[in-house]
Chain A
Amino acid sequence: MKTSKKMFAGALAGVLAVSLAACGKSDSDGSSSSPAASNPGSGASPSASAPASEPAKENITITFQNIYPDPTDPKYKMLHKLVDQYQADHPNIKIELDSLNTDQQKLKLKTQAASKEVPDITIVNPAAQMQPFVDADLFEPLNAMVEQNGLKDTFQPGLLDAYTFNGNLYALPDGNNIAVVYYNKSLFQQAGIANPPATFEELVADVKTLKSKGITPLAIGEKDSWTGSFLFMNILLRTNNGPGFLKDVLAGTKKFDDPAFLDAVNAFQDLVQAGAFQEGATSFDYNAGENLFKTGKSAMYFMGSWATGGIETSDVGKDNNVGVFKFPTVGGKGNPDEFMLAPGSAFAVSKNSKHKQETLDFLNWFMLNYPKEIFELKGAVGIGQKVEGDFKAAGYSQMAIDVLNMFTQVKGGDLAFDNTMNPGTAQAHLTSIQNLFVSKKDAKDVAKEHQDAFDENYKK
């Protein structure tokens, strides 16, 4: 009996030692000999790509994580067309698409990054949102690749700076956008509103008029809480009489209880209290919110200009029915030519990609063909690259051309909150703004929530 106990103890200890050792291995960064750990970049399905065989012309799979899941979106069509074409030209290369909506993709990538299993190509957001991934050394620098075939010169000057860290370029943007307000002309007419609002006060008045006619004034997908934040930040850009509020906070020259911030909170609440948004807005995700506008159920929609293509090709966009206006002044403050700026989400290549060279070649080809393809599909408003071609002749709507003209009038602006401050602070901000949709709060309390979160997340 004694021996049996000992043997059990021995067996258990052995089991524990083996399993602990296994864990220690997978934690170390790629130095172990197990196949799964040495190929951490093999994407969403490591089990499928683990047994690497080496025939003459190797069949390889490139995992392409993207945020174009909506078949009505021109970018979806562009993506599928280009990928099919590339696969036809390169029979040994299979490109596996992992299409997710924006928030899901962000979460998935973070989960994958935690286990060092970043897909070959993935999507990142500029500046502060990208920083942690770059710090963790997950991406391949694209300095050399972007020089090939003259790809670099296709981008708008200065745009790539938002994706460059310590002199290394880590991602290529699919767009460069500004925030605008789209409006449904026939619904405005129905409510007897002649012109789009020129001031925030007019906007609130229009909201009330539309509401009284039973029309949802503004559509929003506030379950994805960045949407409300984007709008709020545009108000702040006005009440602050110009850009740079968050930068001043980061520099320590301003605090969140600044009058500009308080005014912005109050203005935002005016909008909510006037019934601007659809009922139950906080349970609508981004696509559901946008669809309200696209199906003609709401009169206005505040969004980045990336939505132009989708709206243009939707039913509501027919017959020049959708117009667009700049976000108005708030309380007489601010300049409508200052916009919320959104350097687009961008394609990055995993540093641990198993087929790095093929992936880089593909991405280079993809980005070179992207402007032409998307131009033909009428989705070229707000892309980050120069487009050759006559928009009007190509059949772009008046709305799209109006948006393009606004680009030429941009006199600076701010990046979104989560592109400026670190994730911890940004999350607290997003929750705080989401809360304004369901309960009226004192602006000072909102400011305090922000300040507390900021102090906590930037204490070191």
Chain B
Amino acid sequence: MKVLRVKPWTIAAFVGPGLLLYVCLVFVPILVSVYNGMFDWNGIGASEWAGFANFHKMLFNDKVFWPAVNHTLQMAILSLVIQLPVALFVAILISRHVRRANFLVTSYFLPVILSVVVIGQLWKTILNPASQGGMINQILDKIGLHAWTHSWLTEPKYAMYSIILVGLWQYLGYHVLIQFTGIQNIPADIYEAARIDGADGFKADRYITVPMIVPIFKISVVLSFIGSLQSFDRILVMTAGGPAHATEVLASHMYYQSFLSLKYGYGSAIACFLVVFSLAATVVVNLVFNQLEKRYT
């Protein structure tokens, strides 16, 4: 059992500081949130013990909560099923056909380093109604598709999808980069061997690239899913959760309850739900990928 030939206290000394930080910055706040969630507190003044009333209200009595969960899931699942396959496709194309891929990959990556506020404002002007200078609507108008024009960000039916679209655009490059790197790490001799056996082009991708990239793909999936669950800034900049909660997600609902309605305790309860939800999602993703990895390796 003595795999590590170091004394336990040495391990403790090296692991300790990191662990301490991690515990302080991650676990303790979570526990504090759970604790705060048990209070009726406005975040400023005195608090009052409320037990599980906040959690009960959240699950059964809040008209905004479940729609917010729904919007959050929409965001997570749509970015998963649209963004990642496209990113993989782009990554495959780049690695196969582009000799010096760095420039292209960097270009795709550019939106990721831009501030979400900048991107939000940019897309707001793109998505605005034509009368306010919105680009998409003006183009639709010009090509005779006036019936298709909408006030994308303020019609409850479309607002959520518009915001999701912006997320897809912004983070595509991120996943292209991850998956491109993954593909680069697949040894070239495997492809050579496959070519001799007659597997070329997309056939090679189907039987070599996809199975071998599964572990990397998993990282993409987890990052994209958790990122979507926690997305907040984009919502705040573009619609502030409006019109009338049509684009409210869990994180923004939590924020508004805590700081605008001054229900800090209730906001903490939502935060707890978000933590549990994210953990559950991560576990599910891990289980699925463990199966996949077993099958392919």
Contacts and interface: CB of A to CB of B under 8 A. Distances in A.
Interface in A116-153: 132-133, 135-136, 138
Contact of B243 (A110, A424, A435): A435
Contacts, number: 121
A412 B30 CA distance: 49
Interface string B97-123: 000000000000000000000000000
A23 B34 CA distance: 14
A15 B19 contact: yes
A7 B7 CA distance: 11
Nearest first, the 6 A-B pairs at minimum CB distance are: A435-B244, A279-B129, A4-B8, A136-B45, A136-B44, A282-B243
B245 A11 contact: no
Contact of B262 (A11, A283, A423, A438): A423
Contacts of B19: 12, 15
A48 interface: no
Given A16-B23, A110-B262, A111-B259, 14 more contacts: A15-B16, A19-B20, A20-B28, A22-B24, A135-B46, A136-B44, A222-B242, A280-B153, A281-B154, A283-B124, A431-B244, A435-B243, A435-B244, A438-B243
A308 interface: no
Contact of B242 (A4, A113, A223, A278): A223
A23 B23 CA distance: 12
Given A135-B45, A136-B45, A282 B242 contact: yes
B242 A225 contact: yes
Interface of A: 1, 3-4, 7-8, 11-12, 15-16, 18-20, 22-23, 106-107, 110-111, 113-114, 132-133, 135-136, 138, 216, 222-223, 225, 278-283, 422-424, 427-428, 431-432, 434-435, 437-439
Contacts of A23: 28, 32
B265 to A, nearest CB: 11
A283 B238 contact: yes
A438 B158 CA distance: 12
Give the most central of A132, A280, A281: most B CB within 10 Å.
Answer: A280
B188 interface: no
Given A3-B8, A114-B264, A424-B262, A278 B131 contact: yes
Interface string B41-53: 0111110000000
Contacts of B262: 110, 132, 422-424
B154 A132 contact: no
Give the most central of A16, A19, A111: most B CB within 10 Å.
Answer: A19
A114 B44 contact: yes
B261 A437 contact: no
A12 B20 CA distance: 9
A11 B240 contact: no
25 contacts: A1-B1, A4-B8, A7-B8, A15-B16, A19-B20, A19-B23, A19-B24, A107-B260, A110-B260, A110-B262, A114-B264, A222-B242, A223-B240, A279-B131, A280-B132, A280-B153, A282-B153, A282-B243, A283-B128, A422-B262, A424-B261, A435-B244, A438-B154, A438-B155, A438-B156
Contacts of A280: 128-129, 132, 134, 151, 153-154
Given A114-B264, A437-B243, A133 B8 contact: no
A132 B260 CA distance: 12
Contact of A438 (B24, B246, B256, B259): B246
A106 B11 CA distance: 47
Contacts of B193: none
A138 B44 contact: yes
Contacts of B46: 135-136
Nearest to A285: B240
Q: Kindly state the interface size class of chain B when it binds its partner.
A: 35 or more
B224 interface: no
B9 interface: yes
Given A110-B259, A280-B151, A432 B244 contact: yes
A135 B124 CA distance: 40
The B interface is mostly helix, strand or loop, or mixed, namely loop
Interface in B234-291: 238-240, 242-246, 256, 258-264
Nearest to A138: B44
Contact of A278 (B42, B132, B263): B132
Interface in B135-167: 151, 153-156
B158 to A, nearest CB: 11
B154 A282 contact: yes
Nearest to A4: B8
Contact of A427 (B154, B155, B261, B264): B261
Given A4-B8, A283-B154, A438 B128 contact: no
Nearest to A430: B260
Nearest to A22: B24
B12 interface: yes
Nearest to B21: A19
A453 B38 CA distance: 21
B254 to A, nearest CB: 13
Contacts of A114: 43-44, 258-259, 264
A292 to B, nearest CB: 8
Give the most central of B151, B153, B155, B258: most A CB within 10 Å.
Answer: B151
Contacts of B246: 438
A147 B47 CA distance: 35
A282 B239 contact: yes
A451 to B, nearest CB: 14
Nearest to B42: A132
A141 to B, nearest CB: 17
Contacts of B20: 15, 18-19
A184 B20 CA distance: 63
A56 B245 CA distance: 55
Nearest to B19: A15
A23 B151 CA distance: 47
A12 B42 CA distance: 34
B122 to A, nearest CB: 13
Contacts of B260: 106-107, 110, 423, 427
A150 B268 CA distance: 46
B128 to A, nearest CB: 6
Contacts of A133: 44
Contacts of B153: 280, 282-283
Given A110-B262, A280-B128, A15 B23 contact: yes
Contacts of A423: 42, 260-262
Contacts of A19: 20, 23-24, 28
A216 B131 contact: yes
A114 B134 CA distance: 39
Contacts of B238: 283
Nearest to A103: B240
Contacts of A428: 261
Contacts of A132: 42, 44-45, 262
